Structure 1
Amino acid sequence: MDPSLLLMLSDLLHLQNHLDPTTSLLSHSHTTSSSSSSLSSSSSAAPLLFFTIASVLSYVSSSLLPHRSTSHSNRTNPTTTTTTTTLSTTTTTDHTLSGFRSLSSRIWSMDSLARDAHWRSSYGLSYPVFASLLDHLKPHFLRSDLPIPPDFALAVVLSRLSHPPSRRSVLASRHSIPPSLLSKTTNMVTRLLATKLYPDFVKIPSGQRLLQVINSFKDLTSLPNVSGAIHGSPVRLSRLPSLNPSEFGDPPSVLLQAIADHRHIFWDVCVKAPGGSDNASHLRDSLLYHRLTSSDILRDSVVTVRGHHVRPYIVGDSSYPLLSCLLTPFSSNSTGTPAQNSFDAALARGRAAVEHAVGLLKGRWRILQNLNVGLNHAPQTIVACCVLHNICQIAGEPEPELFKDPKETVVPPLPTVRPLESEKSFYYFGESLRQAMADDLQERQQRLLSR
């Protein structure tokens, strides 16, 4: 067997072990409507199968076909590579079914770099990942009554998600399909992504993967047992909802709550609040909150810090309540003691991971910059984009330019969130735990300076 193929398969198995090494029963939850819902299933081989297909397709295309054809063409015609690239760019303007079919029939004869650059430009991800994603979704497509082929349906939706929002009539005309069919196809594909694929690609870490996340965050922040960072980000709506418009803020938006790890991969997302809501209320209304406070998740790897037993926790800014499972800064303007300010700076480094992840999400799936779907379909569209984001991050797709939301660029000092009566025990323990960790961090930093 080709040594490069063996190396590829070895790297693939390492990637699967990093994503879900224990293959144990994992929990995952998300919300895409006014009422919360959870998805739970046993860990499956689906992610491994996904990346096996993607990697083999990529290997075949880039290591076998392109190299052989390029080697031959270099001996006979030095302009072949240019011709192949030209073929790629000439097909980018034809987004109809006939144009898509014409491109698909020649896809493996194209130079792999030009092919994947074109595919990312048109659909937000490379062709091998597109093909594997199609294999995941095809059984569900075949049970639908869409009058267009599954691969074209997926291409149409990915094209809509990865480009700046346009009017539905313009998008439909671009693909030569009726506007009603465009809406139906978008709704079906995003619903499948947000439900059927969510359990495979958005997973709360546990076991060995949780330890890997904790160790990576410790390298990043110097804080023990950080398992993720939480962030609330508004997703702007293209039009103001007619029902209770004041609840959606100015400009109108819905609120995305996301938790990410050090690799900018989301392990929980929730969309169930209008943009005028605050992060604390959104969290308290989510399934994640109840799973955190009941110790249903993140139960492994308890450590001791100055006599305090510390289970894995997440970090957030001051817009979230201080809890034993969610640590927030002492202040938002560095007015604490030196130990507290050092702790806050370390916490900020952890929070940057999820802020970066959200910037990548909106940079790659640009429909989220000004969402132009009906309000009833907005949550599932956002969650679908989060699933696609994770697929791209895990597959190693090139990261796009970060999107900076103007509403989030300047954040005034945040007031401290008051604990609810039911949270007071979590708050008091979190308060003493935070101070112990700040003192411990300062002591370790002083020891390093004294060496």
Structure 2
Amino acid sequence: MVEEEELRSFTFLMTYLLLKRRRDVNNANVQRRNEIQRRIRHRQYFFQRQRRTLMMMIAGSMPSNIRMRTRPWVTTPRTDWWERVVMTEFQPSDWLDKFRMSQETFFYLCEKLRPRLARQDTCFRLALPVEKRVAVALWRLASNIEYRTISSLFGVGKSTVCRCVRDMCHAIVGLLSSTYLRPPSEQDLEDSALHFLSRYGFPHCVAAISTLHTAIISPSNNASDYANSAGWLSVLSQVAVSGRGQFWDVCASFPGGTDPADILQNSSLWTTAAEGGLSPASVPTFMGRKLSYVLLGEACYPLQNWLVKAYPEGKCIRMRDVGLSQSQQLFNQRLNAALRVPVEALLRLRARWQCLSKRNDCGLDVVPTMVLACCILHNICESHGDTFKEEWQADVVEAESPQPSHRPLLSTSLDQSHAEDVRRLFCEYFQLQEN
């Protein structure tokens, strides 16, 4: 018995010593790995510091007249530009000019996208901070300049710039669509209807539909499908804009030659509106009868109970014995005035994010996501009250690809029954207002 007890004690002691030895070896390996990573980071920092010192010496040796003609941050070394200049010396006007949003909105966006954009450091390199990844992508969306220029400015590779743009656009669509690009609530419908009535004099309307053409490079397949009526290649998107100029629904990724009526029929907006989703639970009253809220559309869309468009004025040219009545002309005037809402919203969108106003050289798999991301960013900036500078619109006016117009829809096969009665009801309203 004594020998068994001694053997058991010896076995326990040896097991403990082996486990302790294994733990010590693992701890030593972890410490050695951490030390290697620390030395790598220290060496990277040392090389970057040497490079910055060398660039500052080169900049200091430039003639004084050249240094005086340029802004100080232009000659700053690229590795030092983001950390020292942007984060510490940028003024509110600089944030608006370069990132098209205020500093508060920028950091709000970074926090919202952090779950998707945060990366871990590796043994070979340090991960880019979320703030720098967002800044790289916003610079691209706002200016549409080449990846090479942004690469030199932020001190990252061209492939990193491309990856930042892709990742941020997908993160915005995945994380923020449910908040900033969602179906309107009952309160949103009422507010938008009041805005259309107070500003444009058009009652019982909550949104207007329009289209956006984004110029692209020639695709490898079916390039003729992307040629629009103006003759250049584009991706066509359908947008629904509220009375406050914010986007409620965006349907992207269609070739530029697609008929807008076909896009509308294949969109979720068509299903939602047809099922009465554009009105509150209790249908509002208009001109003494129950009527759901309506949307406004251009002449290229079909006439529906929930979508009204102008009377074709060309009828009085083709049929001289038939012309528009006074109430119909008044209806067209008020509707055309209210259709300025999507025009102005798209102008502000393209002026703020010029990747949509100039030719976009990204792949066709990225452009639709980029359009959605820019619409969401537009809603974020508008809801946060960020300043919009009127001079940004000058670049859109001088853009190489102006928005083409769509031909009116001549066929009435898509028109809904009793839709003309709804339009006639609005004519009676405007005639009463006029009298």
The alpha-carbon deviation at position 434 of structure 1 amounts to 0.2
The alpha-carbon deviation at position 246 of structure 1 amounts to 0.5
The alpha-carbon deviation at position 217 of structure 1 amounts to 0.6
Give the structure 2 partner of residue 101 of structure 1: 83
Give the structure 2 partner of residue 177 of structure 1: 156
* SS of equivalent to 2:211: strand
Is the 1:92–1:122 Cα contact (8 Å) retained in structure 2? no
Give the structure 2 partner of residue 157 of structure 1: 137
Is the 2:119–2:128 Cα contact (8 Å) retained in structure 1? no
Deviations 1:143-199 (A, max 9, x none): 578931111110000001101x33333332333322221111110001111221121
Deviates more, 1:399-408 or 1:251-260: 399-408
Residues 1:306 and 1:141: Cα distance change in structure 2 (over 3 Å): closer
Is the 1:279–1:319 Cα contact (8 Å) retained in structure 2? yes
CA distance in 2, matches of 1:347, 1:313: 12
Alignment match of 1:202 (pick from 171, 177, 181)? 181
Alignment match of 1:368 (pick from 324, 334, 356)? 356
Give the structure 1 partner of residue 252 of structure 2: 271
Is the 1:300–1:311 Cα contact (8 Å) retained in structure 2? no
Alignment match of 1:351 (pick from 328, 336, 339)? 339
CA distance in 2, matches of 1:92, 1:310: 59
The alpha-carbon deviation at position 253 of structure 1 amounts to 0.3
Residues 1:105 and 1:182: Cα distance change in structure 2 (over 3 Å): closer
The alpha-carbon deviation at position 400 of structure 1 amounts to 3.5
Alignment match of 1:428 (pick from 414, 417, 426)? 417
Residues 1:248 and 1:151: Cα distance change in structure 2 (over 3 Å): same
Letter in 2 for 1:98: D
How is 1:199-278 mapped onto 2 (pairs within 5 angstroms)?
199-237=178-216, 239-249=217-227, 250-278=231-259
Alignment match of 1:393 (pick from 379, 382, 393)? 382
CA distance in 2, matches of 1:283, 1:120: 35
Deviations 1:69-108 (A, max 9, x none): xxxxxxxxxxxxxxxxx9x95336659452111125525x
How is 1:133-152 mapped onto 2 (pairs within 5 angstroms)?
133-142=109-118, 147-152=127-132
Deviations 1:361-389 (A, max 9, x none): 00010111221211100000011111111
Give the structure 2 partner of residue 302 of structure 1: 283
* SS of equivalent to 1:329: coil
Residues 1:241 and 1:193: Cα distance change in structure 2 (over 3 Å): same
CA distance in 2, matches of 1:440, 1:297: 21
CA distance in 1, matches of 2:273, 2:77: 46
Give the structure 2 partner of residue 283 of structure 1: 264
Structure 1: state its 5+ residue gaps. 1-85, 108-113, 447-451
CA distance in 1, matches of 2:341, 2:163: 35
* SS of equivalent to 2:145: coil
Q: How many residues align?
A: 347
Q: Does 1:340 align with 2:328?
A: yes
Is the 1:266–1:386 Cα contact (8 Å) retained in structure 2? yes
Deviates more, 1:286-295 or 1:303-312: 303-312
Q: Does 1:124 align with 2:124?
A: no
Residues 1:137 and 1:356: Cα distance change in structure 2 (over 3 Å): same
Deviates more, 1:341-350 or 1:306-315: 306-315
Structure 2: state its 5+ residue gaps. 1-67, 317-323
Q: Return the index of the structure with the highest Cα Rg.
A: 2
The alpha-carbon deviation at position 409 of structure 1 amounts to 6.3
Is the 1:227–1:314 Cα contact (8 Å) retained in structure 2? yes
* SS of equivalent to 1:189: helix
Is the 1:360–1:400 Cα contact (8 Å) retained in structure 2? no
Using the size of structure 2 for normalisation, the TM-score is 0.74
Letter in 2 for 1:368: L
Deviations 1:308-344 (A, max 9, x none): 4310111011111111111111125595211111111
Is the 1:141–1:150 Cα contact (8 Å) retained in structure 2? yes
Is the 2:285–2:291 Cα contact (8 Å) retained in structure 1? yes
Residues 1:307 and 1:156: Cα distance change in structure 2 (over 3 Å): same
* SS of equivalent to 2:261: helix
Q: Does 1:315 align with 2:303?
A: no
CA distance in 2, matches of 1:444, 1:436: 13
Alignment match of 1:186 (pick from 165, 179, 187)? 165
RMSD in angstroms over aligned alpha carbons? 2.6
Q: Report % sequence identity.
A: 24
Using the size of structure 1 for normalisation, the TM-score is 0.71
